[in-house]
Structure 1
Amino acid sequence: MTAAAPRPVDVHALPAMLTALRLPSIQRHWTMLADRADAEGWPASRFLAALAEVELADRDARRIQRHLQQSELPGGKTLATLDFKALPGVTRARIEALAAGDWVETGANLIAIGNSGAGKSHVLCAIGHALVEAGKRVLYTPTTDIVQRLQAARRDLVLEAALAKLDKFDLIILDDITYAQKDQAESSVLFELIARRYETRSLAIAANQPFSAWNRVFPDQAMTVAAIDRLVHHATILEMNGESFRRRAAARRRSSEPVAAPTASSDNIGVEATDNINDKLREISAE
C-alpha cells in the first residue's frame, strides 16, 4: 500500500492558524524571522527555536504584567525609587537580599516595625515589586481591607473558600496591621489568615507599634501570643525607627527647598516586558 501524498501547506492560512493556536508573538514576528532565516540559510530547527523563544518571552512578560495588576501594589514604590540613605537601620544590601526572595520559598515572614512614615510600606512594596518581576504571586492590602473581606466571607459562610483563594499568593503584604483597634470578630479572622499561612506561605507586615502593644490587634491575650509566635518563628524583623519621610518633606517645603521629583522607576514592568521581547529579537539577530 503506497503512502498518501502529503497535503500541500497553505502558507496564506498561517495567520489564521497562529490565531487559533493562540501564538500572537509568533504571528507578529514570523515574517521578519522567516526573511532572516531565508537570507542566512538557517536550518528549520533554528527557525523554529527562534519563534519559540520569542513566544515564550512574550508570554512571560504578559504573565508578569497580569500578576502586577492583580497584586494591587502601589505604583512607584519600587527599589528604584527607594531612598536607601534615609532608611533607619536598614542597608541596601539587606533589602536587595530580601528582594531576591529566598525566604518566600520556605514560607518565612518579613516584619517591618517602626514609626509612622519611616518607609516601612515603601520597603515592603519595593520587595513585592521585585518578587512579582521574579515570577512570584504577591498581594498588597491594608490590613483593615482584608479583615473586612474575610468578615464578610464568614457572614456568608464562605470563609474557607475565601482563605483558599488567598493561597495562590506566595506573599501577602499586610500594611498598617496596628493602625486601628480591632474587635474580637476582626482579630479572629486575621488570626485564621496568619495560622493558615504558617510555615507554608509568606506574610510581610508593616506595624507602627512594637509587639508589646499588639493587644490592640488581638484583644484576646492568648490569641496575641499565638499570632506573634507564628509570625516571628520564621521571620526577618526590620526595625525602622527613624524620622518620618513625610515630616522631612514638609520641613523642606516650609524652608522652600526644592523637593526632588521621584526617580523614574527602572522596575516599570510594562516597559521591561517590551524590552525583554526586543532583547530576545536582538539576540536572535546577532546569532
Structure 2
Amino acid sequence: MAPKTPEQQMIERAKALRLHGILAHWEEIEDKEWIEQMLCWEEQERTRRSLERRLSEAHIGRFKPMSEFDWSWPTSCDRGAINALMSLEFIPEAGNVVLLGSNGVGKTMIARNIAYQAVIAGYTALFVNASTILAELASQDSERLLQQRFNRFTRPRLLVIDELGYLSYSTRYADLLFELVSRRYEKNSIIITTNRPFSEWGEVFPSAACVVSLIDRLLHNAEVLAIDGESYRYKEAQERRNTREAKRKSPSKKAKAES
C-alpha cells in the first residue's frame, strides 16, 4: 500500500475531528498554509478537554505522588510489582489488582496513583469507596435505576473500589458486588484495596452464598499484592506530635535573649 500523501493525512485528521464544514469546503482551502496549524490547535484542545473531563469523572481526589512513598517503611512490599502496575499493562488484558494490607500502609495512595496514570494514558477510570458504591447500588428502588447504576460502574476501563473489608455487609450487598464483578469480568479492570485476607471475606459478607464465587471471579487474571507494616499515618502523626512537644519544651529566642 502506497504511503498517504500529506493532504490525505490532513483529510483523515479533519474527519477524525469531525470538522464537517472544513471537509465540505476542502477544495477551496486545501492550499492554505493555516490548515495544518488549525488541525494541531483543534487536536491539542480536544486532548486537553478530554483529559480534564476524564480526571473530573474519575473522582480520584487529592493524593501524594509515588515519589513521596516511603519504601523503607513497610516491612514487606513488592516495589517492583507496584512499579509494574504503574505501566498499566493489566488494563488492556482486563486484569484485576488486589492491594491487601492493614490500615495506613499505603494501599489507597498506590491505587489513586494507578488510577491517575490510567487517566493520563487515555483510559477512563472511577475511584469509589466500597461502602459508597454498595450503598448506591442497594438504594435503587427500581430495576431500571439499578441497571443505570450498574452501567455507570461497569463502563470505566478501570474501577477502583477502596476500603473493602472495614465494614460488614448484608447478603444483598454481596450479591450486588458479585453482579458488578461479573459484569466487568474479562472486559474491564478492577482494583480493590482491602484490609482483610480472602479467608476472612466470609466475615465481611456473613451468610452470603456468593462469597466463594465472588473471590474466584475476582482473582482470575488478577495480581494480589500484600503490604505489611504499621500505619504510616500513625507514624506521621507521632512525628508531628513530637515536633510540637519539642517546640513547647525548647525556650524561645526572646526568652534566651532576656536571660
2:124/2:158 contact within 8 Å kept: yes
- Cα distance 1:82–1:66, how it changes in 2: closer, same or farther (>3 A)? farther
Q: Distance in 1 between matches of 2:40 and 2:198?
A: 49
Deviation at 1:198, TM superposition (A): 1.3
- Secondary structure of 2:91's partner? helix
Change (3 A) 1:257 1:85: farther
1:207 Cα deviation from its structure 2 partner: 0.4
Matched, 1:73 2:72: no
The residue number in structure 1 matching 2:92 is 105
User: Does the CA contact (< 8 Å) of 2:77 and 2:228 recur in 1?
Assistant: no
Could you give the per-residue CA deviations for residues 210-231 of structure 1, whole angstroms, max 9, x where no partner exists?
1111012322364111011011
Is 2:221 the counterpart of 1:234? yes
TM-superposed CA distance for 1:185, in Å, is 1.4
Mapped to 2, the partners of 1:74 and 1:87 lie a distance apart of 24
Q: Partner letter of residue 41 of structure 2?
A: V
The TM-score with structure 1 as length reference comes to: 0.70
1:182 to 169, 177, 185: 169
Secondary structure of 2:143's aligned partner = coil
Partners of 1:77 and 1:122 within 8 A in 2: yes
Gaps of 5+ in 1: 1-20, 24-42, 259-287
The yes-or-no answer on 1:143 pairing with 2:130 is yes
Letter in 1 for 2:54: H
Contact in 2 for aligned 1:109/1:231 (Cα 8 Å):
yes
Is 1:249 aligned with 2:217? Answer: no
Q: Secondary structure at the match of 1:175?
A: strand
2:73 & 2:51 partners in 1: Cα distance? 30
SS at 2:61 equivalent: coil
Structure-to-structure mapping, 1:205-220, within 5 angstroms = 205-220=192-207
- Which one-letter code corresponds to 2:91 in the other structure? V
Partner of 1:157: 143
Asked if structure 2 preserves the Cα contact closer than 8 Å seen for 1:181 and 1:217, the reply is yes
CA 1:88–1:109 in structure 2 vs 1: closer, same or farther (change >3 Å)? farther
Distance (Å, rounded) in 2 between the aligned partners of 1:57 and 1:81: 31
Deviation at 1:189, TM superposition (A): 1.0
2:172 partner amino acid: A
State the TM-score, normalized to the length of structure 2.
0.77
Show structure 1 runs of 4+ deviating over 4 A: 43-46
CA 1:165–1:233 in 2, change beyond 3 Å: closer, same or farther?
A: same
Q: Is the 8 A contact 1:187 1:218 kept in 2?
A: yes
Query: Any conservation in 2 of the 1:71–1:139 contact (CA below 8 Å)?
Result: yes
Matches of 1:64 and 1:161, distance apart in 2: 24
Among 21, 25, 38, which residue is 1:51 paired with? 38
| 43, 47, 66: which one aligns with 1:60 | 47
How far apart are residue 187 of structure 1 and its match?
Answer: 1.5
On the 8 A contact 1:143/1:174 being kept in 2, the answer is yes
Q: Secondary structure, in 3 states, of the residue corresponding to 2:191? A: strand
Q: 1:250 offset after TM fit, Å?
A: 1.8
Residue pair 1:88, 1:118 contacting (<8 A) in 2 also:
no
Deviation for aligned residue 1:152:
1.7
1:248-272: CA deviations, max 9, x gaps? Answer: 11221232189xxxxxxxxxxxxxx
Question: What is the rounded CA distance, in whole Å, between the counterparts of 2:55 and 2:33 in structure 1?
Answer: 33
